[in-house]
Amino acid sequence: MEKITIIDDFLKVCSNKKIKSKIEFRGEDFSNIIKCKNITFKKNVVFNEVTFEKDVDFSEVTFEDEVKFENCIFQGYANFSEVSFNADTYFGSTIFQNGVSFENSECKDGSIDFEGLQFKHINFEKVMFTYPIFIDMHSFGISKSFCKKNFSSKESVRVIRASLDEKKNHTEASKYFPIEQKLYIDALKKNNVLDNFFKLIPLYVDQWISCFGTSWIRVMVWQVLFLLVVATLLYCLCNGHTWSVDGALSLMVPVKLFGVENKSIIGIPIWSASLVKMVSIYLVWQFVKSFRLDTKRF
């Protein structure tokens, strides 16, 4: 059989270890559970605008030629774990309404395209994709924005973020970096909070101050709040006298870390003034880092 285009024929050949016929379905609905585990597809596999109503299992499959799952809808769980994609592979504009796993899968000899992919939950752990394309991916549901519930682990997010960073698409990659860090925090908390206490502190501070270096507006808010706190403390220490916003600003300007002008007027210990300047330096660094995100994350 040169080409398989009938659903019943496809379900029958799925019991074979090797399928030498081309597979091509367009606009079909699969109402059965699909089990194609540990099969080798020798020729092209094309599913275009196909709906899989139940679970699909393509685990441990080898695709030796081009594969296309484009504009498809997977209503059940889709398993593509331990799959070898040996040619160009396309999952463009496909929707995974439940979960999908590509764990331990590889695509070394061609590109694998996930452009426009929608998913509820995805697993990219231990994958080896030489030329992956992760553009315009978004969460399935009401909101297109991703959260940590959409990913199985930090590793799954890192695969996407690192690929986008490598292609200099830092703006797109910035959407995934906070999620990666939040999942990292969860992993540290699961292991042992006390053992990882000193690792968690800077992560939490980075999250609160700038959302892991992705929000310069949040840093500005913290800078204004810090200015008000410093100004209020100065006002209390000086009993309402010789206080001004200029005095508070001059204290916060991190030009000289341990140099404080007008010590007698400010009336606070030098270690306190130095602490204020160190916090100011940190906030300025967070602002610059976040503001430059569109050009380069550092």
CB 215 within 8 Å of CB 288: no
CA distance 97 to 145: 15
**pLDDT grade for 258, boundaries at 50, 70 and 90:** very low
Residue 236, SS3?
helix
Q: Tens digits of per-residue pLDDT, 196-250? A: 888 888 999 999 998 888 888 999 899 888 888 877 777 676 655 555 555 566 6
pLDDT at 36: 92
Phi-psi region of 145 (alpha: psi -120 to 50; beta: other; left: phi over 0): beta
Residues in the chain: 298
Separation CA 66–CA 93 (nearest Å) = 17
State residue 290's pLDDT score.
82
| Contact in structure between 223 and 248 (CB atoms under 8 Å) | no
Q: Residues 247, 265: contact at Cβ < 8 Å?
A: yes
Rounded Cα–Cα distance for residues 160 and 243 (Å): 51
Q: Say if residue 259's pLDDT is above 60.
A: no
Residue range 171-181, pLDDT digits in tens: 788 889 999 99
Residue type at 295 in one-letter notation: T
Q: Give the whole-angstrom CA distance, residue 125 versus residue 127.
A: 6
Q: Tell me the per-residue pLDDT of 139-170, one tens digit each, with 9 for 90 and over.
A: 998 778 899 999 999 999 999 999 998 888 88
State pTM to two decimals: 0.82
**Half-sphere CA count of 266, side-chain side, radius 13 A:** 24
Q: How far is CA 277 from the centre of its chain?
A: 34
- Radius of gyration over alpha carbons of the chain, in Å? 27
Segment 91-129, tens digit of pLDDT: 999 999 999 999 999 999 899 999 999 999 999 999 999
Domain limits, the chain: 3-145, 216-294
CB atoms within 10 A of CB 43: 17
The whole-angstrom separation of Cα 222 and Cα 201 is 18
